[in-house]
C-alpha cells in the first residue's frame, strides 16, 4: 500500500504534469508533433535573448561565487581553520532566505534615493535596477557565495592535518593548493556551483523586483499572466528550463563522482589544536564575511525601524510600529505559511521515508538509479512545475467544495512537497541507517509483526531524524516564490514570502515588508540553531551532516 501510494503521488504530481507540459509545447491540438511552436519561439528575438541571458546570468553567478569562495577557502585550509558546525549550517542560510530580500536591501542603499546612491550619483549610477542583468548576476552570486564557501570548506577541512604533514616533507604550499586542495574541493565546489546555477535560473522574484524581464523565468511568468496557462510558448519555455536544469544537475553529479570519493571525517586524523595566529586568521576571515552580509542586509533592517528615511544617509527617526503592523495585518499570511509548508513538510517526511526504505532495500544497480532519480528532483524548476500544474489540473473540480483545483490553494503545497522531497529522502535515509539492525532482528525472532516492530522500535528511534527532515522541508517551502507567484489564487491566500514581495513593491508597505523579512530571517536562524542542536545530539558527528549535504556520497 505504501509503494502504491508512492507511485500514485509521483505520477500525479510530477511525471504526468511535467510530461503533459512538454507535450503541450511540442504538439498541436490533435496531439501530433509539430515544429511550429519551436520556430515561433526561435523567431522571436526576445525569447532567444532571454535564453542566452538566463544561461549567462546563471553561469556567471556560479562562476563569481566560486571565484570569491576559492581564495577564502584556501586560506582557511592553509591555516587549518575548520569552521564549527554552526558556521557550516549558517553557510546554508541562502537556501532558506529568498535572494530578492538582498536585492531590495541593496537597492535601498544604492538606489537613486538611497544613502550610498546619493554619494556616488555624481560619479556613476549604482542603482541595481538600472544595471539590469549584471546586477541580477552579482546579487545571485553574493547571495549564494556562503553556500559555495561552506561546501568547499566541508570537503577539504578534514584533510588539513595531512596537508601540513605533506608540507613538512618538502612540498610547497602552492603545489599543495593546486595538486591537493583543488582535487579535494572539487566535489564541494561542483555541488555549490550547481545549486547556484539552478537557483539563479529558477529565480523569479529577484529579476522582477529589479525590473528585469529578459530572462526565461520572467518570460514564462509573463506569458502565463497574459495568455493563460494553456499557452504553448509558455510550455516550451518551461520545457527549456527543465532540460537546462536537468543537464546541468546531472553533469555536476557525474563530475563529482569522477573525483575524490567522500570519506567520513572520522577516517581522517583530527586537526591539531589551532595556534594563536591560526585562530586570528580564522576569526578575521569569518568575521569579515559576517560583517559583509550584515551590512548588505542593513538596508532592510533599517527600513523595518525607520519612520522617515528619504534622501538621507540614515533614517531621520525610528519606530517599532512596522513590526506591529506586520504581525497584525499579515496574520493571515503566517497562517497560510504554516498550512502550506506544514502540509508539504509532513507529506515530504512520509514520502521520503518510503523512498528511503525503497532505496535502502533495492539491489545495488537499482539503488544507484533510484538515488540519482531522487536527487534529480532538485533540477525541477519551480516555475516549470507551477505551469505544469496549471495545465494538467485545469478544469478538475474538487468533489466536496465544487471548486476547480487549479483555483484553490491545494496545488501550492504539492509543488512545495515535490521540490523539498530530495532533502527529506536524504534525512530519512541517514535516520534509517542509524537504526541498529540487531534490534529489528531481535523483534523478528520474538514473533512480532512488521507493523508492531515499526511502531514500537523503529519509529521512536527515528523521531529526531524525522523532525530534522520536517524542519528542512518546511524552511525550503517557506521561501519558494517561483511556485507561489503562479499558483496562489489570490493575495489573501499568499504565504509570508509572497507578502514580503508584495509589500516591498510599494512605498507605503516597504516598512511592513522589511519587518516581515527580518522576522522571517530570525525564524530561519532559530530553525537552523534547532537543527544544529538535534544534529549534534542525535547524529553525534559532523560527518553525518556532511553526508546529508552531499547527496552523491
Distance CA 499, CA 485 (A): 10
Q: Provide the number of structural domains found in the chain.
A: 1
Which CATH number fits the domain that encloses residue 157? 1.10.3720.10
Alpha carbon distance 144, 520 (integer Å): 18
Alpha-carbon gap, residue 91 to 80, rounded angstroms: 18
| 295, three cell numbers | 551590512
What 3-state class would DSSP assign to 307? strand
Greater model confidence, 86 or 440: 440
| Structure confidence at residue 24 (pLDDT) | 84
User: Which residue in this structure is represented by grid cell 536537468?
Assistant: 246
* Model pLDDT for residues 350-368, shown as the tens digit of each residue: 998 888 888 877 787 777 7
CB 167 within 8 A of CB 247: no
If residue 220 lies in a helix (H) or strand (E), which one and from where to where?
Answer: helix 216-227
Residue with cell 537557483: 199
Q: What Rg, from alpha-carbon coordinates, does the chain have?
A: 24
Give the pLDDT of residue 544: 46
Nearest Cα to 263, choosing from 531, 539, 541, 71?
Answer: 541
For the chain, report the end-to-end CA distance as a whole number of angstroms.
30
Per-residue pLDDT, 347: 93
Rounded to the nearest integer, the mean pLDDT of the chain is 81
Backbone angles phi, psi at 319, to 5 degrees: -145, 165
Does residue 178 carry a pLDDT above 90? no
Q: How confident is the model at residue 173 (pLDDT cuts 50, 70, 90)?
A: low
Binned at pLDDT 50, 70 and 90, residue 144 comes out as: very high
The answer on pLDDT for 542 being more than 50 is: no
Query: Smallest Cα–Cα separation from 353: which of 435, 456, 440, 442?
Result: 435
Q: In the predicted model, what is the mean pLDDT of residues 437-459?
A: 79
pLDDT reading at 507 higher than 90 = no
Cβ neighbours of 227 (radius 10 Å): 12
The predicted pLDDT at position 551 comes to 42
Q: How far apart are CA 303 and CA 318, in angstroms?
A: 9
Q: Give the containing element (helix H, strand E) for 152.
A: helix 133-154
pLDDT of residue 552: 40
Distance CA 287, CA 282 (A): 8
Could you read off the pLDDT of 228-275 as tens digits, one per residue? 888 888 999 999 999 999 898 888 877 776 554 444 444 444 444 556
pLDDT bracket for residue 159 (50, 70, 90): low
Taking Cα atoms as reference points, which of 531, 470, 502, 493 lies closest to residue 412?
A: 493
d(CA 178, CA 185): 11
Beta strands 403-404 and 397-398, pairing class: antiparallel
* 82-131 pLDDT per residue, tens: 666 666 677 778 888 889 888 888 888 777 666 666 666 666 666 676 77
Query: pLDDT category, 222, cuts 50, 70, 90?
Result: very high
Residues of the chain above pLDDT 70, percent:
83
Cα–Cα distance between 414 and 42 in angstroms, integer? 33
Picking from 72-76, 112-116, 128-132, 481-485, which range would have the lowest pLDDT averaged per residue? 112-116
Q: Residue 197 — pLDDT band, cuts 50, 70, 90?
A: very high
Residue 14 has, within 13 A of its CA and on its CB side, a CA count of 20
pLDDT at 120: 65
- As a whole number of angstroms, the distance between CA 15 and CA 30 comes to 21
Exposed/middle/buried for residue 168 (C-beta within 10 Å: 0-12, 13-18, 19+): exposed
- What pLDDT, on a 0 to 100 scale, did the predictor assign at position 459? 80
* H-assigned helices in 44-132: 45-78, 85-91, 99-110, 115-119, 128-131
Q: Which domain holds residue 273?
A: 2-549
| pLDDT tier at 325, thresholds 50, 70, 90 | confident
Structure-model confidence comparison of residues 338 and 397, the more confident one: 338
Residue percentage of the chain with pLDDT more than 90: 19
pLDDT of residue 267: 42
What pLDDT score does 265 carry?
A: 41
Cell of 394: 485545469
Q: What number is the average pLDDT over the span 268-287?
A: 64
Alpha-carbon distance of 177 to 163, in angstroms, equals 9
Task: List the single range of 322-331, 442-451, 518-527 with lowest mean pLDDT.
Answer: 442-451
Longest dimension (CA), the chain: 82
Is 70 exceeded by the pLDDT of residue 475? yes
Q: Of 249-258, 296-305, 311-320, where does the model show the most confidence?
A: 296-305
User: Is the separation of the CB atoms in 192 and 140 below 8 Å?
Assistant: no
| Long-range contacts at 35-43 (CB < 8 A, ≥ 24 apart) | 37/232, 37/233, 37/236, 38/236, 40/233, 41/233, 41/236, 41/237
Give the helix/strand (H/E) hosting 456. none
Residue 349 CA, chain-centre distance (Å), reads 18
Distance CA 151, CA 546 (A): 9
Amino acid at each position: 500500500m505504501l509503494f502504491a501510494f508512492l507511485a500514485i503521488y509521483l505520477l500525479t504530481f510530477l511525471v504526468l504534469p511535467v510530461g503533459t507540459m512538454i507535450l503541450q509545447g511540442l504538439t498541436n491540438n490533435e496531439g501530433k508533433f509539430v515544429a511550429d511552436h519551436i520556430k515561433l519561439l526561435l523567431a522571436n528575438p526576445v525569447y532567444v535573448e532571454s535564453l542566452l541571458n538566463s544561461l549567462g546570468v546563471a553561469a556567471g553567478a556560479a562562476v563569481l561565487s566560486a571565484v570569491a569562495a576559492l581564495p577564502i577557502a584556501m586560506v582557511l585550509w592553509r591555516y587549518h581553520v575548520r569552521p564549527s558546525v554552526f558556521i557550516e549550517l549558517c553557510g546554508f542560510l541562502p537556501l532558506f532566505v529568498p535572494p530578492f530580500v538582498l536585492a531590495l536591501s541593496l537597492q535601498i542603499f544604492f538606489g537613486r534615493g538611497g544613502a550610498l546612491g546619493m554619494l556616488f550619483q555624481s560619479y556613476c549610477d549604482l542603482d541595481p535596477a538600472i544595471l539590469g542583468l549584471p546586477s541580477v548576476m552579482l546579487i545571485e552570486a553574493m547571495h549564494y557565495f556562503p553556500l559555495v564557501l561552506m561546501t568547499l570548506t566541508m570537503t577539504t577541512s578534514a584533510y588539513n592535518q595531512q596537508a601540513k604533514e605533506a608540507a613538512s616533507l618538502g612540498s610547497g604550499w602552492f603545489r599543495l593548493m593546486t595538486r591537493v586542495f583543488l582535487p579535494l574541493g572539487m566535489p564541494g565546489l561542483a555541488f555549490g556551483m550547481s545549486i547556484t546555477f539552478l537557483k539563479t535560473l529558477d529565480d523569479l522574484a529577484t529579476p522582477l523586483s529589479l525590473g528585469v524581464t529578459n530572462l526565461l523565468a520572467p518570460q514564462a511568468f509573463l506569458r502565463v499572466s497574459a495568455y493563460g496557462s494553456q499557452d504553448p510558448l509558455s510550455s516550451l519555455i518551461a520545457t527549456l528550463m527543465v532540460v537546462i536544469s536537468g543537464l546541468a544537475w546531472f553533469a555536476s553529479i557525474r563530475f563529482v563522482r569522477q573525483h575524490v570519493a567522500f570519506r567520513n571525517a572520522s577516517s581522517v586524523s583530527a586537526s591539531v589544536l589551532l595556534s594563536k595566529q591560526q585562530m586570528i586568521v580564522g576569526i578575521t576571515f569569518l568575521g569579515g564575511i559576517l560583517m559583509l552580509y550584515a551590512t548588505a542586509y542593513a538596508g532592510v533592517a533599517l527600513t523595518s525601524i525607520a519612520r522617515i528615511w528619504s534622501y538621507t544617509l540614515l533614517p531621520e527617526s525610528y519606530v517599532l510600529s512596522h513590526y506591529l503592523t506586520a504581525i497584525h495585518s499579515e496574520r493571515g499570511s503566517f497562517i497560510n505559511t504554516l498550512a502550506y509548508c506544514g502540509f508539504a513538510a509532513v507529506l515530504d517526511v512520509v514520502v521520503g521515508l518510503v523512498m528511503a526504505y525503497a532505496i535502502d532495500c533495492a539491489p545495488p544497480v537499482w539503488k544507484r538509479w533510484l538515488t540519482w532519480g531522487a536527487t534529480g528532483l532538485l533540477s525541477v524548476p519551480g516555475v516549470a512545475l507551477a505551469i505544469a500544474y496549471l495545465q494538467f489540473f485545469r478544469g478538475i473540480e474538487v468533489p466536496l467544495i465544487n471548486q476547480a483545483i487549479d483555483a484553490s490553494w491545494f496545488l501550492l503545497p504539492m509543488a512545495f512537497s515535490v521540490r523539498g522531497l530530495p532533502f527529506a529522502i536524504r534525512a530519512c535515509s541517514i535516520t534509517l541507517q542509524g537504526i541498529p539492525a540487531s534490534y529489528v532482528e531481535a523483534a523478528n525472532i520474538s514473533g512480532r509483526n512488521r507493523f508492531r516492530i515499526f511502531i514500537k522500535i523503529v519509529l521512536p528511534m527515528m523521531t529526531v531524524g524525522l523532525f530534522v527532515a520536517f524542519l528542512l522541508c518546511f524552511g525550503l517551502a517557506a521561501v519558494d516564490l517561483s511556485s507561489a507567484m503562479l499558483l496562489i489564487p489570490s493575495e489573501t491566500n499568499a504565504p509570508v514570502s509572497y507578502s514580503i514581495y508584495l509589500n516591498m513593491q510599494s512605498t507605503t508597505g516597504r516598512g511592513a515588508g522589511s519587518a516581515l523579512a527580518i522576522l522571517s530571517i530570525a525564524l530561519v536562524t532559530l530553525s537552523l540553531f534547532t537543527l544544529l542542536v538535534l544534529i549534534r545530539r542525535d547524529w553525534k558527528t559532523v560527518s553525518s551532516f556532511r553526508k546529508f549535504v552531499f547527496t552523491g556520497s
